[in-house]
Amino acid sequence: MAEPATRRDVPATYGTSLVDLLDRVVSTGVAITGDAVISLAGVDLIRLDLRLLLVGIDTAIRIEGPT
């Protein structure tokens, strides 16, 4: 990924936290329902947990931005 042209000049923060990742991968995307699909055990519960957790969690844990 190219260095955003504006990074030096603006009071914005860039980067991707673990929470950002989980929030997209686990909470969005096409959800297939119906009996052609087996859910991973516990995944729905994870979703529930994440909802609760993401309310309070800060983004202190930073990981490398996507390349």
Q: Which residues bind other proteins (CB under 8 A)?
A: 1-2, 4-6, 9-18, 20-43, 45-46, 49, 53-57, 61, 63, 65-66
Residue 65's identity, in one-letter code, is G
3-state secondary structure of 43: helix
Taking the complex as a whole, the smallest distance from the CB of residue 25 to other proteins amounts, in Å, to 4
Taking the complex as a whole, the smallest distance from the CB of residue 28 to other proteins amounts, in Å, to 4
DSSP code of residue 24: H
Taking the complex as a whole, the smallest distance from the CB of residue 62 to other proteins amounts, in Å, to 9
Name the token pair of 51. Answer: 């909802």
Give CA–CA dist 59/27, Å, rounded: 17
